[in-house]
Amino acid sequence: MDLTGKIAIVTGVSSGIGRATAEALLARGAAVAGWGRKAPEDLDNERFLFFECDVRDEHAVAEAYTNTQRELGLEIHILVNNAGLGIFGPIDGFKSEDWHAMFDTNVNGLFYCTRAVLPQMKKQHAGHLINVASLAATAGTANLAGYCATKYAVRGFSDALFKEVRPDGIRVTCVMPGSVETNFNGAQPGTDPDPYKMQPEDIAAAIIHALEAPDATMISEIQLRPANVKK
């Protein structure tokens, strides 16, 4: 897909992978509707519009979608479901509200956003859905059972969805990064890049790669790991 002039929605746009993806899309000539609870700082581009949206609230998602179409036009070519939440801990001490917060964000929110854009993409017979999961969707990890459960759900949803909408000309890609240097789980990125973690821009580049794949090709899954391993 040539991204020039395309309309993209990116959720969780305030920082990390979401912001890096928005910047990468803008650099390719796309217009970006950024959805999030907080606007990204210092992202000044005439083709970027921010819409306040908590993806856990299906009515907020519907409103953000309506506002996006009003400002950028009816056609929506790309949705990057990036908004995510990770809370870690042993299951026997896990709070129910934390469990629900993760599922409401990582799974239900992704469903609400996907459901919103699909009718228009089907009408266009074109579109690309990017679902940001995690390597936690491929193997369980102690003290990450809740988070892994949500990301397994995202991967399963993505796999089923691509088979459902491929006849409609819509592509689905599940992106599964390993360790990325972001504010995830309350961590603060260091002043210097961590050589044992990927950067948000690395994941954004993989997303762009999937979006720009030849017309005859759909990249259904991408797994990414840091190249450097601690000895």
Active site residue 147: yes
pLDDT at 230 exceeding the cut of 80: no
* pTM reported for the whole predicted model: 0.94
Q: Are 135 and 218 contacting, i.e. CB atoms less than 8 angstroms apart?
A: no
pLDDT at 186 exceeding the cut of 60: no
Catalytic residue among 65, 147, 152, 196: 147
CB atoms within 10 A of CB 46: 7
Mean pLDDT, rounded, for 88-96 = 97
Q: Which residues pair with 11 in a beta bridge?
A: 35
Question: pLDDT of 98-124, one tens digit each?
Answer: 999 999 999 999 999 999 999 999 999
Question: pLDDT of 15-48, one tens digit each?
Answer: 999 999 999 999 999 999 999 999 999 999 999 9
Q: Which CATH superfamily is domain 7-224 in?
A: NAD(P)-binding Rossmann-like Domain (3.40.50.720)
Question: pLDDT of 193-203, one tens digit each?
Answer: 788 899 999 99
Reported confidence tier of residue 189, pLDDT bands at 50, 70, 90: very low
Question: pLDDT of 143-164, one tens digit each?
Answer: 999 999 999 999 999 999 999 9
